[in-house]
């Protein structure tokens, strides 16, 4: 095989053979294909795409670059969920213990935040003592005992994806749907789960801004799942407005605990239950109502055991920001706009997110939303709270919110949380 031949084949709009795909992914992983060569190929894929067969083979090649988790029989069906990322998207935190409380096992291998989208591991690390890194044996044991685990991806899982993702991030090729889909699905298939539910976000705070792009990504990932024998369903969900009323790390953990105790914002509860229903359907658990299980407190008890199993103290106080400022309404009327991207960037600037993977985050930083879109407000009424340990960051957060928060006359916009479901 010759790297130039592979690049030019895709540059000229051709289809890569299975042998070309297998070779170039393996060669890049071991360092025989240079970064600049893979960058050229990634750009050719971005511009010319890949068909379903190419994408499925690319996914398999990335799986084959590492190991597949051997979790064995944990006594329950394995089912997982993946979100494409959003603002206030804390759903994994109440969802994993809820599905476990309903009788399935959830091996949730998660990541950290980058830019305006939060990371599940960053949120959980605001809990004193909690640890993200678990061995394969620890993951299997916790699944058998508790039924749910949320932890970092093991280093041996799809190493080609980690290397290629870092390259795409600095070469303007992140937006390629085949490369996004294969990146997500290679890790999920390598987990060894029996079923997968995808939460594909669409809107200003999402990676996919339009329903058309979100649907194309969802359909591609569902097709990859089918090609690899993984039962996969995708939900297209709204990310034009932040989920819930908390955006940050400790703030989102606290809100998730409220949901698990039977309270919390209605949109977080609605999406958690909707995703749980789809996960249980894939696990062939049809005699349990996740809404009732959530209301009963059973999911909260699983949460406590899950956190404790990973060294955390579920009863410990969460970090509190040293500095809090309010953003008030400039007039009376109705809150008609609360843009997810604006709020996400504000939280990021306050210290809740990172610009580079190696950056640290503040556990207590973020934005608390005090009113919902559609609510009537009075002039001077607080709309948001800005939480940070670095007061100098507040000016940048306020600038990010400029134009993203609007009070006007008339009713607020209607919102549909789950817009579409894509099945095989």
Residue 419 phi/psi, 5-degree rounding, is -90, -30
Q: How far apart are CA 248 and CA 350, in angstroms?
A: 9
The tally of CA atoms less than 13 A away on the side-chain side of residue 192 is 17
Catalytic option among 162, 187, 277, 368: 187
Domain boundary among 264, 293, 316: 316
Q: What is the pTM of this model?
A: 0.95
CB-count exposure of residue 409 (10 Å: 0-12, 13-18, 19+) = exposed
Say whether 32 is catalytic.
no
Domain with 16 in it: what CATH number?
A: 1.20.970.10
Say whether 183 is catalytic.
yes
Q: Tell whether 362 and 247 lie within a shared domain.
A: no
Cα 185 off chain centre by: 13
Domain boundary among 267, 289, 316: 316
Say whether 323 is catalytic.
no
pLDDT of residue 26: 97
Say whether 161 is catalytic.
yes
Q: Tell whether 327 and 312 lie within a shared domain.
A: no
Domain with 355 in it: what CATH number?
A: 3.90.1170.30
User: Angle formed by the axes of helices 35-48 and 18-29, to 10°?
Assistant: 140
Domain that holds residue 233: 79-316
Catalytic option among 183, 186, 240, 256: 183
Token pair belonging to 306: 């899950």
pLDDT of residue 413: 84
Q: CA nearest 152: which of 110, 97, 91?
A: 110
The tally of CA atoms less than 13 A away on the side-chain side of residue 118 is 37
Q: How far apart are CA 145 and CA 157, in angstroms?
A: 23
**C-alpha distance from residue 409 to each of 149, 185, 378, 382 (Å):** 46, 45, 12, 18
Q: Tell whether 311 and 379 lie within a shared domain.
A: no
Q: Is residue 45 part of a domain?
A: yes
**C-alpha distance from residue 353 to each of 3, 115, 226, 345, 362 (Å):** 37, 6, 34, 9, 8
Query: What does 243-267 look like in DSSP terms, one character per residue?
Result: SSSEEESHHHHHHHHHHHTT-S-HH
Catalytic option among 168, 215, 277, 368: 168
Q: Tell whether 219 and 236 lie within a shared domain.
A: yes
Q: What angle do CA 25, 27, 33 make, to 5 degrees?
A: 100
CB 248 within 8 A of CB 115: no
Report the 10 Å Cβ neighbour count for 279. Answer: 26
Q: Tell whether 290 and 150 lie within a shared domain.
A: yes
pLDDT of residue 410: 80
Q: CA nearest 181: which of 384, 78, 297, 45?
A: 45
pLDDT of residue 115: 75
Q: What angle do CA 125, 323, 377 make, to 5 degrees?
A: 100
**What string of pLDDT tens digits covers the 424 residues of the chain?**
899 999 999 999 999 999 999 999 999 999 999 999 999 999 999 999 999 999 999 999 999 999 999 888 999 999 999 999 999 999 999 999 999 999 999 999 998 887 788 899 999 999 999 999 999 999 999 999 999 999 999 888 999 998 998 899 889 898 899 999 999 999 999 999 999 999 999 999 999 999 999 999 999 999 999 999 999 999 999 999 999 999 999 999 999 999 999 999 999 999 999 999 999 999 999 999 999 999 999 999 999 999 999 999 999 999 999 999 999 999 999 999 999 999 999 999 999 988 777 788 999 999 999 999 999 999 999 999 999 999 999 999 999 999 999 999 988 888 999 999 999 9
Q: Tell whether 88 and 200 lie within a shared domain.
A: yes
Q: How far apart are CA 70 and CA 67, in angstroms?
A: 9
Bridge partners (DSSP) of residue 82 are 198
Q: Tell whether 179 and 299 lie within a shared domain.
A: yes
CB 404 within 8 A of CB 368: no
Number of domains in the chain: 3
Q: How far apart are CA 93 and CA 89, in angstroms?
A: 9
Q: Tell whether 306 and 327 lie within a shared domain.
A: no
Q: Tell whether 144 and 14 lie within a shared domain.
A: no
Say whether 82 is catalytic.
yes
- The residues, any chain, with a CB within 8 Å of residue 404's CB and separated by 6 or more, are 337, 338, 339, 341, 342, 343, 346
Q: Tell whether 310 and 353 lie within a shared domain.
A: no
Q: Is residue 413 part of a domain?
A: no
4 by DSSP, 3-state: which?
helix
Catalytic option among 89, 122, 161, 258: 161
Catalytic option among 76, 82, 90, 116: 82
Token pair belonging to 29: 């992983």
pLDDT of residue 90: 97
Q: How far apart are CA 146 and CA 97, in angstroms?
A: 9
């Amino acid at each position: 095989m010759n790297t130039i031949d592979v690049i030019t084949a895709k540059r000229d709009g051709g289809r890569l053979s299975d042998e070309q795909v297998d070779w170039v992914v393996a060669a890049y992983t071991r360092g025989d294909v240079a970064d600049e060569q893979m960058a050229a190929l990634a750009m050719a894929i971005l511009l010319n795409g890949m068909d379903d067969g190419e994408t499925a083979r690319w996914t398999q090649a990335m799986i084959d670059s590492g190991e597949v988790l051997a979790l064995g029989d944990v006594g329950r069906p394995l089912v997982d969920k993946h979100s494409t990322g959003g603002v206030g998207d804390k759903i994994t935190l109440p969802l994993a213990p809820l599905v476990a409380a309903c009788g399935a096992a959830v091996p949730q291998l998660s990541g950290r935040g980058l830019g305006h989208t939060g990371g599940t591991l960053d949120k959980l690390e605001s809990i004193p003592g909690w640890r993200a890194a678990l061995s394969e044996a620890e993951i299997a044991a916790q699944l058998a005992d508790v039924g749910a685990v949320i932890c970092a991806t093991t280093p041996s899982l799809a190493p080609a994806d980690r290397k290629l993702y870092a390259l795409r991030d600095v070469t303007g090729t992140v937006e390629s749907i085949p490369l996004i889909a294969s990146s997500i699905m290679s890790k999920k298939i390598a987990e060894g789960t029996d079923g997968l539910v995808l939460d594909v976000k669409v809107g200003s705070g999402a990676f996919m801004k339009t329903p058309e792009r979100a649907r194309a990504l969802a359909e591609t990932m569902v097709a990859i799942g089918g090609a690899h024998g993984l039962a996969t369903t995708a939900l297209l969900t709204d990310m034009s407005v932040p989920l819930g009323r908390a955006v940050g790390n400790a703030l989102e953990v606290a809100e998730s605990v409220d949901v698990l105790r039977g309270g919390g914002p209605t949109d977080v509860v609605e999406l958690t239950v909707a995703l749980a229903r789809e996960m249980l359907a894939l696990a062939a658990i049809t005699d349990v109502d996740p809404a009732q299980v959530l209301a009963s407190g059973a999911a909260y008890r699983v949460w406590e055991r899950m956190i404790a199993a990973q060294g955390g103290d579920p009863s410990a106080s969460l970090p509190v920001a040293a500095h809090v400022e309010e953003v008030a309404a400039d007039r009376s009327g109705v809150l008609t706009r609360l843009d997810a991207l604006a709020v996400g960037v504000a939280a990021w600037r306050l210290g809740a997110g990172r610009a580079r993977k190696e950056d640290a985050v503040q556990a207590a930083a973020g934005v608390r939303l005090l009113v919902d879109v559609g609510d009537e407000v009075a002039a001077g009424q607080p709309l948001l709270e800005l939480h940070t340990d670095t007061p100098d960051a507040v000016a940048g957060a306020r600038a990010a919110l400029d134009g993203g928060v609007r009070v006007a006359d008339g009713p607020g916009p209607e919102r549909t949380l789950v817009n579409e479901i894509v099945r095989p």
